[in-house]
Amino acid sequence: MTNSRRVTLSDVAARSGVSAATASMILAERPDVSFAPETVLKVREAAEALGYRGVRRHRPSRILAEQSVAIICPNVVNQYYSTLVQSIQDAAARHAHDTVIFTTYRDAAAEARLLHTLAAAGVGGIIFCTLPLCPAQAERINRDTPVVVIGDRDANLNLDTVELNNYNAGMLVGRYLIGLGHRSVACVSTPLNKDNSARLRRLDGLRDAFREGCPDGRVLVRTCSVSPAQERGDVNIEYATGRNLARKCLAERDITAFVAVNDMVACGVLDAILESGARVPEDYSLCGFDNIFPSHLARVGLTTVEHHIAEKGRHALDILHQRISNGPGCSVTRVEILPELIVRNSTGPARMA
């Protein structure tokens, strides 16, 4: 006999290990109270897993129609994401899909809350511009609402994915610098953690390139912590991170090259080098990742890894459009984009010791 008992708030509270009052305030999105992000995430995931619907006090916005596409990205300041968003929108217009953009600033609780809202609102589909911080919740939503992820090749996701192998990208940079005679390099990065796996994969590839091709070499890693509030409140956070960390690395006299985790960070590294009175590439070589537009400029001329940003956005929308048009399916589509090293004038032979 099927158990048709309605899931209650108490069920959600018990599953997430909080009080019913706490669960109620979190699910009601009370503006006058706040909880730790981990607590919010646990409650949201419990509600999703149990199928809790609660009392709907407001009708979903009409903008979230069945043919609308929700685009979820960390921010729109980094030109990588703004380019990605515009390419998705361009492809969406050709298929008569409207788009809505949501930024999370890498806040897992904000993402969980957003996914809960989008699932209830009946949006046509969702595109993540990076790996979801709440993958289990995204996979559950995908049963009814198509979800496509633009992420790293190493991701273990049961979702349609447009992927690029960031490990190989790191290997490309490492092997290139070794070929130029660099034996000691500094890797400068915004937070390196499990929530930013693409960054970790780039570093892994760089390190393995040196283990294989220059076992006596050195990869110095400099990173820092950036909270969602800091990322949201400072539009220059990536540039500032690169500039500040590079200044510290310049005290290491054996360093002859910098590898920035992305081109925005690389711009900060470049300014720190030039402000110190050193030259690029005569004194220090500099590489980035993404190949955003400013990297093309003659006075920047950044050697970087091409990530084919617009191509990834178009592929993601095309996959989502097919899912929206054809209904749920059991197969998972994966499209792999190959990284390509773009050599410009920010790199050259290692200086003599």
The burial class, CB within 10 Å (0-12 / 13-18 / 19+), for 322 is: middle
Q: What is the DSSP string of 70-94?
A: EEEES-SSSHHHHHHHHHHHHHHHH
Q: Which residue has the higher pLDDT, 139 or 1?
A: 139
Q: CB neighbours of 207 closer than 8 A, spacing ≥ 6? A: 170, 174, 219
Reduce the DSSP state of residue 331 to 3 states and report it: coil
Cis omega (within 30 of 0) for bond into 281 = yes
Angle at 74 between CA 289 and CA 108, to 5 degrees: 125
What are the structural domains, with CATH classification, of the chain? 9-50 (no CATH), 69-164+309-339 (3.40.50.2300), 166-307 (3.40.50.2300)
**Which residues are paired to 152 by β-bridges?**
164
Are 114 and 107 a contacting pair, CB within 8 Å?
no
Q: CB neighbours of 87 closer than 8 A, spacing ≥ 6? A: 309, 310, 311, 312, 313, 314, 317
Q: What is the DSSP string of 89-146?
A: HHHHHHTT--EEEEE-TT-HHHHHHHHHHHHHHT-SEEEESS--SSHHHHHHHTTTS-
The answer to which of 58-72, 116-130, 234-248, 291-305 has the lowest mean pLDDT is 58-72
Q: Structure pTM? A: 0.82
> Residue 35's pLDDT is what?
81
Are 309 and 80 a contacting pair, CB within 8 Å?
yes
Pairing between β-strand 257-260 and β-strand 285-287 as defined by DSSP bridges: parallel
Instruction: Provide the token pair at 287.
Output: 């590489």
285-339: per-residue pLDDT in tens?
999 999 999 999 988 999 999 999 999 999 999 999 999 988 766 678 899 999 9
Confidence of residue 351 (pLDDT cuts 50, 70, 90): very high
Instruction: Provide the token pair at 142.
Output: 């995908």
* CA-wise closest residue to 72 among 141, 9, 133, 142: 133
Which alpha helices (H) appear in the chain, and where do they start and end? Answer: 9-16, 20-27, 37-50, 79-94, 108-121, 135-141, 166-179, 197-213, 228-233, 237-249, 263-275, 309-326
Q: What is the residue-averaged pLDDT of the chain?
A: 90
Confidence of residue 65 (pLDDT cuts 50, 70, 90): low
From CA 318, how far away is CA 263, in angstroms rounded? 27
227-278: per-residue pLDDT in tens?
999 999 999 999 999 999 999 999 999 999 999 999 999 999 999 999 999 9
Confidence of residue 353 (pLDDT cuts 50, 70, 90): low
In this predicted structure, the answer to whether residue 60 has a pLDDT above a threshold of 50 is no
Are 133 and 195 a contacting pair, CB within 8 Å?
yes
* CA-wise closest residue to 265 among 223, 309, 219, 297: 223
